[in-house]
């Protein structure tokens, strides 16, 4: 048996078409475009590529593009001033502070200067609290994208055993919360987990967000499980994930590739969040 390959590029393209349509309707109705502000601090090549990709997509979907680039020597106050300026600009619906920041900067303190209503990355402490409480709010894009891929493949989450490998603030933790809200039986495994293969082999759905190239092989996967690979690493032979695709494709019933899996969905969810943020301001919920 060989697993079905979940086509993240195709699902992202469909999602983006829907978002573009809704952006056009929003613009007709309000006379304004949803606006995304991206902030890049420093000159990390990979970060620059990701930010470009986000900007290009937002413009293609009909949004306004506000981009700021600060030098790697920018101080905390430089970044804070910029965030305050964008926070009070009504043309800016969403603010994305590209991570990682240069090491000298306090990431959490700066991210938390983004107002929750403009937190299209869903990474502020306020947004994390809303998610943990199950209250309405903007959710992190990569976890949203992973869940959207499972839905697009008609994977049942309610009652299923889902193992998330990784407990990062960006992916693992919020993903576990989202899955709990979908009534999955969620286990979070991490670098201190004892006998990882025994834990992951219990999973009907295995989501790997460990940030360790090739961590997961055939021995970690139950026959017929669905495997979502959130990892992305540049190797000598190109991009690769946390999952040894060539091994696991023979054991799983469905699997996401890298590239072409979760990555494009992350951007699609950022676009949807930016539209949502614009709508929330124009039509506040009672
Ligand atoms: N504030 C913040 N928010 C983020 O969402 C954020 C971040 N910082 N820092 C870095 C990570 C990484 N990330 C990716 C987005 C798209 C692809 C993506 O589209 N990947 C393509 C391949 C792209 C390529 O060829 O390099 C794919 O998997 O098919 C990957 C990774 C967002 N991140």
Q: What pLDDT is stored for residue 58 in this prediction? A: 98
Taking a C-beta distance cutoff of 8 angstroms, is the pair 261, 229 a contact?
Answer: yes
Ligand 1 test: best mutation among 50, 52, 268, most atoms within 8 Å of CB?
50
Q: Is the peptide bond before 259 cis (omega within 30 degrees of 0)?
A: yes
Q: How far is the CA of 265 from the centre of ligand 1 (A)?
A: 9
Complex-level ipTM beyond the 0.90 threshold: yes
CA 237 to chain centre: 25
Taking a C-beta distance cutoff of 8 angstroms, is the pair 256, 132 a contact?
Answer: no
For residues 170 and 143, what is the distance between their CA atoms, to the nearest angstrom? 8
Ligand 1 atom with least separation from CA of 96 = 1
Q: Which amino acid residue places its CA nearest to atom 31 of ligand 1? A: 263
Two tokens, residue 190: 């991490």
Taking a C-beta distance cutoff of 8 angstroms, is the pair 202, 124 a contact?
Answer: no
Residue 1 has pLDDT above 80, yes or no: no
Calculate mean pLDDT across residues 99-109: 97
Active site positions, annotated: 54, 98, 121
- CATH number assigned to the domain with residue range 141-263, chosen from the 4 options 3.40.50.2300, 3.10.20.30, 2.60.120.10, 3.40.50.720: 3.40.50.720
Q: Is position 168 annotated in a ligand binding site?
A: yes
pTM to 2 decimal places: 0.97
Calculate mean pLDDT across residues 265-283: 97
Q: What pLDDT is stored for residue 146 in this prediction? A: 98
Q: In this predicted model, what pLDDT tens digit does every residue of 124-144 receive, in sequence order? A: 999 999 999 999 999 999 999
Q: What pLDDT is stored for residue 284 in this prediction? A: 76
**What are the φ and ψ backbone dihedral angles of 148, each rounded to 5 degrees?**
-60, -40
Q: How far is the CA of 209 from the centre of ligand 1 (A)?
A: 13
**β-sheet bridge partners, residue 37:** 66, 95
Q: Is position 166 annotated in a ligand binding site?
A: yes
Judged by DSSP in three states, 164 sits in: strand
Q: What pLDDT is stored for residue 286 in this prediction? A: 57
Q: Is position 88 annotated in a ligand binding site?
A: no
Taking a C-beta distance cutoff of 8 angstroms, is the pair 189, 165 a contact?
Answer: yes
Q: How far is the CA of 51 from the centre of ligand 1 (A)?
A: 8
**14, 164, 241 from 189: Cα distances, Å:** 32, 6, 17
Residue 266 has pLDDT above 60, yes or no: yes
Taking a C-beta distance cutoff of 8 angstroms, is the pair 3, 253 a contact?
Answer: yes
For residues 178 and 174, what is the distance between their CA atoms, to the nearest angstrom? 6
Give the residue extent of every domain in the chain.
31-115, 141-263
Ligand 1 test: best mutation among 58, 263, 264, most atoms within 8 Å of CB?
263
- CATH number assigned to the domain with residue range 31-115, chosen from the 4 options 3.30.2400.10, 2.60.40.420, 3.40.50.10860, 3.20.20.60: 3.40.50.10860
Helix (H), strand (E) at residue 26 = helix 8-30
For residues 271 and 286, what is the distance between their CA atoms, to the nearest angstrom? 24
């Amino acid at each position: 048996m060989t697993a079905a390959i979940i086509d993240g590029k195709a699902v992202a393209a469909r999602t983006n078409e829907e978002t573009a349509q809704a952006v056009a309707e929003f613009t007709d109705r309000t006379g304004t475009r949803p606006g995304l502000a991206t902030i890049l601090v420093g000159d990390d090549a990979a970060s620059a590529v990701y930010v470009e990709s986000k900007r290009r997509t937002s413009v293609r979907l009909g949004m306004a593009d506000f981009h700021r680039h600060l030098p790697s020597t920018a101080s905390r106050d430089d970044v804070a001033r910029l965030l305050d300026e964008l926070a009070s600009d009504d043309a800016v619906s969403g603010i994305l502070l590209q991570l990682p920041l240069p090491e000298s900067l306090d990431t959490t303190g700066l991210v938390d200067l983004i107002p929750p209503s403009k937190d299209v990355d869903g990474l502020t402490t306020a947004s994390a609290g809303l998610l943990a409480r199950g209250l309405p709010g903007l959710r992190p894009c990569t976890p949203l994208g992973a869940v959207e891929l499972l839905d697009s493949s008609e994977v049942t989450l309610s009652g299923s055993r889902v193992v998330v490998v990784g407990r990062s603030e960006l992916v693992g933790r919020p993903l576990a919360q989202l899955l709990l809200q979908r009534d999955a039986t969620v286990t979070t495994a991490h670098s201190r987990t004892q006998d990882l293969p025994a834990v992951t082999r219990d999973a009907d759905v295995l989501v790997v967000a460990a940030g360790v190239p090739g961590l997961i092989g055939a021995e970690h996967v139950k026959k017929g499980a669905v495997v979502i690979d959130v990892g992305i690493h540049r190797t000598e032979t190109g991009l690769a994930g946390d999952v040894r695709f060539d091994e696991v494709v023979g054991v799983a019933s469905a699997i996401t590739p890298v590239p072409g899996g979760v990555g494009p969905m992350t951007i699609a969810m950022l676009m949807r969040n930016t539209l949502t943020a614009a709508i929330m301001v124009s039509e506040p919920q009672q």
